[in-house]
C-alpha cells in the first residue's frame, strides 16, 4: 500500500530510489535514510543538472564494498557461539572509509548500510578528509564478562584486520563499542600485522594513541550545534528544560554540556524505561551506574531518593521540555512522540543518535516550524574528533583537552553555518535537513566527479 505520509520526490530521482528499494529489499532503515537524502536532492539537480550525470547519484547510493563474515568465539561455559560480522565500506571519495562499529542484537546488513550511508554525508560535513563506512555485529554484549568481550573482539578482528588500515578504513566505536572493545581490537590488529599502526582505529585509550575529548565529543558536539541554533534565534540554554533519551556515551556527555551551558536536564532513559528528576539529573550518579557498573537506569531512583521516579517502558518524550535530544537509537522518536513534544512546547530537537526520529516525526517538526537538527549534522562531533585523533596519530602528537575541544567547537559551528547557509541558498531557510543533505552531498559529489567513473 502506498504510504501517504511520504513526500513525492523529483522525477529523475524516483527511479534511483526504486532501484535502491529493489536492490536492498527488506532493509527499511536504509530505504528511509536514502529517501530522505534523495528528497533533498531534487533542488540540487534542478539548479545543477550536472550532478545527475554519469549515474553519480546511483553510485552514491551503492556501497563500494560490503563484507559479511562469521565470528566464532567461546563463551565462559566453554560453548561455541556464532555471530555475524559486517563492514560496509560505503564511499572513499573524500578519504579512507571512516565510521564506527556497533555491537547490538538488532544489527543486520540493512542497519549497517543505513549507518554507512548517513556516515558518508556526515563525514563530508565535518570538512575533514574522511570517507564513510560502518561495521558491527549482532553480538549482544549485555551480561557478558570482560573475558567473553575480549574473545569476541579478538575473533571479530581476526577477520576484519585484512580489510582495514590507516589509509584504507578506520573503524571506531558506536553502540556497544567503547574504549574497552577498541583496546581489545587494537591489540589483536597489532599482533596480526606486527605493526603499531595507531591510526587504524579511533576511540583508543589515551595511553596508546587516543585523543583527549573523543569520549565526550559526540554529546558535546550535539549541544554545541544546538547552542548555534539557539543563538541564531537570539537565545541560549540558560534555564531551559531538556530531555535526553538514552544514557550511553552520547547521552551522558550531552547532559554534561547542557548543564555546563546553564540548561536543566530532567529526564533520561535506557532500553528498560526512563527516569524523571525534577531537581535536575544527578550526572555523577548516572555515570557511576552506566559507565562504572554497566547497570540499569532504574537503579538511579533507588539511590537518589525523593523527587524522582522511574517509568518502566513508556516514552521519555512524554516528559515536557523545550529542548529534546534523542541520543538512544534509530526510530525511537515516533510521530506520536513528536505530537506530544510539540503540544508541550518544544522549541528545538537535535539528533544525538543516528536517525532517532522516524520520517513522520521529522515531518511533523518541520511542519510545526520546530528547529530540527538531523543526526548527520548534530552528532558529527564524534567522528570529527576521530579525525582529530587520526591527525594526532599521523604527527605522533597528543593535544591538550582544551585544544581538542576548541577544535571541536569550531568544527560544530562551521557545520551549523554550512547547513544553515546551504538551506538559505536553496530557498529553504531554517531547514537543517535540506541544508545538511545538500552540503554533504555536494562535497562528496564534487570529489567523485573529479575522479571519473570509478
Smallest gap from Cβ 119 to ligand GLU, in A, equals: 6
Query: What is the rounded CA–CA span in Å between residue 17 and residue 95?
Result: 26
Smallest gap from Cβ 175 to ligand GLU, in A, equals: 8
Query: What is the rounded CA–CA span in Å between residue 193 and residue 191?
Result: 6
Q: Kindly give, in sequence order, each residue whose CB lies less than 8 Å from that of residue 251, ignoring residues fewer than 6 positions away.
A: 219, 244, 245, 268, 325, 327, 328, 352
Stretch that binds ligand GLU, among 51-59, 95-103, 285-293, 330-338 (CB under 6 A): 95-103
Which residue from 89, 154, 155, 354 is in contact with ligand GLU, where contact means CB under 6 A? 354
Which residue from 34, 94, 109, 172 is in contact with ligand GLU, where contact means CB under 6 A? 172
> CA 137, 143, 147: angle at the middle one, nearest 5?
75
Which residue from 383, 415, 434, 445 is in contact with ligand GLU, where contact means CB under 6 A? 383
Joined grid coordinates for residue 115: 549507518
Joined grid coordinates for residue 21: 528499494
3-state secondary structure (DSSP) of residue 329: coil
Q: Kindly give, in sequence order, each residue whose CB lies less than 8 Å from that of residue 77, ignoring residues fewer than 6 positions away.
A: none
Smallest gap from Cβ 64 to ligand GLU, in A, equals: 17
Stretch that binds ligand GLU, among 160-168, 378-386, 423-431, 443-451 (CB under 6 A): 378-386
User: Does 356 contact ligand GLU by CB under 6 A?
Assistant: no
Stretch that binds ligand GLU, among 17-25, 96-104, 280-288, 419-427 (CB under 6 A): 96-104
Q: For strand 97-103 and strand 169-173, is the pairing parallel, antiparallel, or unpaired?
A: parallel
Which residue from 202, 211, 329, 418 is in contact with ligand GLU, where contact means CB under 6 A? 202
Joined grid coordinates for residue 93: 571519495
Considering CB under 6 A, how many residues would be counted as binding ligand GLU? Answer: 11
Stretch that binds ligand GLU, among 19-27, 69-77, 183-191, 379-387 (CB under 6 A): 379-387
3-state secondary structure (DSSP) of residue 407: helix
Q: Is 134 a known active-site residue?
A: yes
In the complex with ligand GLU, the residue whose CB is nearer, 61 or 383, is: 383
In the complex with ligand GLU, the residue whose CB is nearer, 106 or 427, is: 106
Which residue from 358, 386, 392, 393 is in contact with ligand GLU, where contact means CB under 6 A? 386
Which residue from 10, 35, 87, 98 is in contact with ligand GLU, where contact means CB under 6 A? 98
Joined grid coordinates for residue 79: 560453548
Smallest gap from Cβ 348 to ligand GLU, in A, equals: 21
* Residue with grid cell 550545534, as numbered in its chain: 225
CA distances from 206 to 13, 255, 339, 355 (A): 46, 23, 43, 30
User: Residue length, the chain?
Assistant: 454
Q: Kindly give, in sequence order, each residue whose CB lies less than 8 Å from that of residue 98, ignoring residues fewer than 6 positions away.
A: 119, 123, 130, 131, 132, 133, 169, 170, 172, 383, 386, 387
Among candidate residues 134, 190, 204, 257, the one labeled active-site is 134
In the complex with ligand GLU, the residue whose CB is nearer, 87 or 151, is: 87
Query: What is the rounded CA–CA span in Å between residue 291 and residue 299?
Result: 13
Query: What is the rounded CA–CA span in Å between residue 416 and residue 227?
Result: 10
The closest of 59, 130, 64, 68 to 97, measured between CA atoms, is 130
Smallest gap from Cβ 301 to ligand GLU, in A, equals: 30
Binding mask 54-83 for ligand GLU (x = CB under 6 A): ------------------------------
* Residue with grid cell 554507512, as numbered in its chain: 116
CA distances from 305 to 273, 288, 300, 308 (A): 18, 16, 8, 7
Which residue from 63, 85, 246, 382 is in contact with ligand GLU, where contact means CB under 6 A? 382
Query: What is the rounded CA–CA span in Å between residue 117 and residue 121?
Result: 7
Which residue from 85, 95, 96, 99 is in contact with ligand GLU, where contact means CB under 6 A? 99
User: Does 124 contact ligand GLU by CB under 6 A?
Assistant: no
The crossing angle, in degrees rounded to 10, of helices 432-451 and 401-425 is: 100
Stretch that binds ligand GLU, among 14-22, 158-166, 180-188, 382-390 (CB under 6 A): 382-390
Q: Which residues bind ligand GLU (CB under 6 A)?
A: 98-100, 119, 172, 174, 202, 354, 382-383, 386
Amino acid at each position: 500500500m502506498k504510504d501517504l505520509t511520504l513526500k513525492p520526490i523529483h522525477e529523475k530521482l524516483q527511479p534511483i530510489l526504486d532501484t535502491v528499494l529493489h536492490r536492498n529489499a527488506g532493509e527499511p532503515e536504509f530505504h528511509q535514510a536514502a529517501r530522505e537524502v534523495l528528497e533533498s536532492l531534487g533542488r540540487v539537480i534542478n539548479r545543477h543538472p550536472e550532478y545527475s550525470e554519469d549515474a553519480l547519484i546511483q553510485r552514491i547510493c551503492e556501497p563500494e564494498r560490503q563484507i559479511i563474515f562469521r565470528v566464532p568465539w567461546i563463551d565462559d561455559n566453554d560453548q561455541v557461539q556464532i555471530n555475524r560480522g559486517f563492514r560496509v565500506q560505503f564511499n572513499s571519495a573524500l578519504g579512507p572509509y571512516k565510521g564506527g562499529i556497533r555491537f547490538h542484537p538488532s544489527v543486520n546488513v540493512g542497519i549497517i548500510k543505513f549507518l554507512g550511508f548517513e556516515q558518508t554525508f556526515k563525514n563530508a560535513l565535518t570538512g575533514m578528509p574522511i570517507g564513510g563506512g560502518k561495521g558491527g555485529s549482532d553480538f549482544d554484549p549485555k551480561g557478558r564478562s570482560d573475558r567473553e568481550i575480549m574473545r569476541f573482539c579478538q575473533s571479530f578482528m581476526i577477520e576484519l584486520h585484512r580489510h582495514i588500515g590507516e589509509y584504507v578504513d578506520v573503524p571506531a566505536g558506536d553502540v556497544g563499542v567503547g574504549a574497552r572493545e577498541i583496546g581489545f581490537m587494537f591489540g589483536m590488529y597489532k599482533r596480526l600485522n606486527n605493526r603499531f599502526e595507531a591510526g587504524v582505529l579511533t576511540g583508543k585509550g589515551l595511553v596508546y594513541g587516543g585523543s583527549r575529548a573523543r569520549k565526550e565529543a559526540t554529546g558535546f558536539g550535539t549541544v554545541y550545534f544546538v547552542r548555534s541554533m539557539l543563538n541564531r534565534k537570539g537565545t541560549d540554554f540558560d534555564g531551559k528544560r531538556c530531555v535526553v533519551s538514552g544514557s550511553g556515551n552520547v547521552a551522558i556527555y550531552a547532559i554534561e554540556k547542557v548543564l555546563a551551558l546553564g540548561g536543566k536536564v530532567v529526564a533520561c532513559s535506557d532500553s528498560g524505561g526512563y527516569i524523571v528528576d525534577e531537581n535536575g539529573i544527578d550526572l555523577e550518579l548516572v555515570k557511576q551506574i552506566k559507565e562504572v557498573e554497566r547497570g540499569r537506569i532504574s537503579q538511579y531512583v533507588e539511590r537518589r531518593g525523593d523527587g524522582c521516579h522511574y517509568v518502566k517502558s513508556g516514552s521519555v518524550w512524554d516528559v515536557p521540555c523545550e529542548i529534546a535530544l534523542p541520543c538512544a537509537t534509530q526510530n525511537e522518536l515516533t510521530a506520536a512522540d513528536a505530537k506530544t513534544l510539540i503540544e508541550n512546547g518544544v522549541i528545538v530537537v537535535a539528533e544525538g543518535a543516528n536517525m532517532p526520529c522516524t520520517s513522520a516525526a521529522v515531518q511533523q517538526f518541520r511542519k510545526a516550524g520546530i528547529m530540527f537538527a538531523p543526526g548527520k549534522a548534530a552528532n558529527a562531533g564524534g567522528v570529527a574528533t576521530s579525525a582529530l585523533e587520526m591527525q594526532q596519530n599521523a604527527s605522533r602528537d597528543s593535544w591538550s583537552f582544551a585544544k581538542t575541544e576548541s577544535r571541536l567547537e569550531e568544527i560544530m559551528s562551521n557545520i551549523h553555518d554550512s547547513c544553515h547557509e546551504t538551506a538559505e541558498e536553496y530557498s529553504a531557510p531554517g531547514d537543517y535537513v535540506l541544508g545538511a543533505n545538500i552540503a554533504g552531498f555536494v562535497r562528496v559529489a564534487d570529489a567523485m566527479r573529479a575522479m571519473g567513473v570509478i
